[in-house]
């Protein structure tokens, strides 16, 4: 999309929590990459807000424009579809191609279930194996799909599953022990090219790790390199990924510095990481994308100052990522993005990045930002009519996207190229 082009936004409403054609190898949930692309059916969506095949009904929570899309002065088409998550957020999205994808619910008390689309995200069908399971992460590795979450009923301690070709549970990849620090609610399942894997906890700092060529997981208190010397300190991580068998992660506690975690260079390190503080401001980082070993983008919420003056928070690392001096905060406010809000998810296709989130307070709704230069500059592409908070996105190379929030809110967006 050239800078000289005028964007057109078509608004349509939608009823009813790391994605894209160009990610590292993490495949899903908040990040996109091995997963990707979207094709519509006949271009119409029922106006009654009822999701096909699973019997759930979602309230209207989108724009006030026509159901099938109408051209607006800004040019993008925001076509309303219906997503299945009944709670406040969609937790995870993965597309395997331009039509087939998976969506997980699980980032709130009433969120549970895994759903499949075969028409690019316009309709979703429940996968019954996950009817009572929270789904927090979906990843694809070497053609296999893995789901991380929790058993809401507590009948088992399984928290990561491998799916078969029909997207049903083929086997449990990991079952937590009954020991303190086990991962009974799995937020991430990250798998490296050599088969090593990391599962981290939604609510604690415990992790389960598996080495190259191994089948079983070992539960450890922390990934910190300090554990090598017996001085363990746990980290709260939000997003973990591998690239070229190196670990990349981000996250922070509330009222803590924004930071990234990178594979430790310390002697004796295996699954261990070292932390790099990005600034001394309070922040909570929620998603990341690794372009290569010298270019990385992380995004999330600033907690500095009052909620009414916190801009969406984005950091870029370029060069030696272990050196904090090579990380800089992107001044989105100076680029005309003048609302308070936080980013919940990013999705990448090539050099393009789509970021979605919620404004402060959340009663102001959600937003979407778009970058065509690996996160250096950003444009606000939010519809002019108010939409609800957004939590997940998938971006394809052709300039189309799937964007979702909670309470059935979802859009198919086109025209970004």
Average pLDDT, integer, range 6-34: 40
Q: Is residue 133 part of a domain?
A: yes
Q: Is residue 2 part of a domain?
A: no
Contact 392, 404 (CB under 8 A): yes
Domain count, the chain: 1
Q: Is residue 408 part of a domain?
A: no
Q: Is residue 26 part of a domain?
A: no
For residue 74, the model assigns a pLDDT of 56
Q: Which long-range contacts (CB under 8 A, 24 or more apart) does 148-154 make?
A: 148/186, 148/187, 148/188, 148/189, 148/199, 149/104, 149/106, 149/185, 149/186, 150/106, 150/184, 150/185, 150/186, 150/202, 152/112
Q: Is 55 exposed, middle or buried (0-12, 13-18, 19+ CB in 10 A)?
A: exposed
For residue 21, the model assigns a pLDDT of 59
For residue 307, the model assigns a pLDDT of 72
Q: Is residue 285 part of a domain?
A: yes
For residue 20, the model assigns a pLDDT of 66
Judged by phi (left if over 0) then psi (alpha if -120 to 50, else beta), residue 310 lies in beta
For residue 67, the model assigns a pLDDT of 42
Q: Is residue 208 part of a domain?
A: yes
Identify which has the larger pLDDT, 180 or 244. Answer: 244
Tens of pLDDT, residues 187-199 = 999 999 999 999 9
Contact 241, 348 (CB under 8 A): no
DSSP state letters, 32-95: -SSS-----SSS---TT-BPTTT--B--B-S-SS-TT----TT--EEEEEE----SS---EEEE
Strand 327-329, strand 341-349: pairing: unpaired
Give the separation between CA 36 and CA 353, rounded to whole angstroms.
14
Cβ-based neighbours of 166, under 8 Å, separated by 6 or more: none
Give the separation between CA 45 and CA 214, rounded to whole angstroms.
47
Residue 367 clears pLDDT 50, i.e. is over it: yes
Q: Is residue 65 part of a domain?
A: no
Q: Domain residues for 352?
A: 84-396
The enclosing domain of 265 has a CATH number of: 2.120.10.80
For residue 238, the model assigns a pLDDT of 92
Tens of pLDDT, residues 97-150 = 999 999 999 876 667 899 999 999 999 999 999 998 999 999 999 999 999 999
């Amino acid at each position: 999309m050239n800078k000289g082009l005028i964007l057109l936004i078509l608004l349509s409403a939608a009823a009813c929590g790391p994605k894209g054609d160009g990610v590292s190898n993490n495949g899903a949930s908040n990040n996109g990459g091995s997963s990707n692309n979207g094709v519509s059916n006949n271009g119409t969506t029922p106006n009654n807000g009822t999701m096909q095949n699973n019997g759930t009904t979602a309230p209207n929570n989108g724009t006030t424009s026509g159901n099938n899309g109408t051209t607006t002065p800004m040019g993008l088409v925001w076509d309303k579809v219906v997503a299945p998550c009944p709670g406040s957020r969609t937790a995870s999205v993965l597309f395997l191609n331009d039509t087939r994808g998976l969506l997980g619910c699980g980032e709130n008390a009433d969120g549970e279930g895994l759903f499949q689309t075969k028409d690019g995200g316009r309709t979703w069908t429940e996968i019954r194996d996950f009817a009572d399971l929270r789904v927090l992460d979906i990843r694809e590795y070497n053609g296999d799909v893995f789901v991380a979450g929790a058993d809401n009923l507590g009948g088992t301690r399984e928290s990561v599953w491998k799916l078969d070709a029909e997207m049903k549970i083929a086997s449990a990849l990991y079952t937590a022990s009954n020991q303190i620090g086990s991962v009974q609610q799995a937020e991430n399942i990250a798998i490296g090219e050599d088969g090593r894997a990391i599962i981290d906890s939604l609510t604690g700092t415990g992790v389960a790790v598996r080495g190259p060529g191994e089948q079983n997981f070992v539960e450890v208190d922390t990934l910190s390199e300090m554990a090598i010397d017996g001085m363990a300190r746990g980290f709260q991580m939000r997003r973990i990924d591998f690239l070229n068998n190196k670990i990349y992660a981000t996250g922070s506690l509330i009222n803590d510095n924004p930071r990234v975690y990178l594979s430790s260079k310390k002697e004796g390190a295996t699954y261990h990481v070292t932390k790099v503080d990005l600034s001394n401001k309070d922040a909570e980082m929620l998603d990341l994308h690794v372009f290569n070993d010298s270019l990385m983008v992380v995004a999330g919420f600033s907690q500095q100052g009052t909620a009414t003056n916190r801009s969406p928070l984005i950091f870029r690392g370029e060069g030696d990522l272990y050196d904090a001096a090579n990380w800089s905060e992107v001044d989105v406010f100076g680029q005309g993005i003048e609302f308070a809000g936080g980013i919940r998810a990013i999705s990448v296709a090539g050099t393009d990045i789509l970021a979605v989130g919620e404004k402060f307070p959340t009663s102001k709704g959600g937003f979407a930002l778009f970058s065509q230069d690996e996160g250096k500059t950003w444009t606000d592409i939010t519809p002019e009519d108010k939409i609800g908070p957004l939590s997940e996105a998938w971006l394809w190379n052709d300039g189309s996207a799937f964007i979702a929030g909670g309470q059935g809110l979802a859009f198919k967006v086109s025209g970004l190229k």
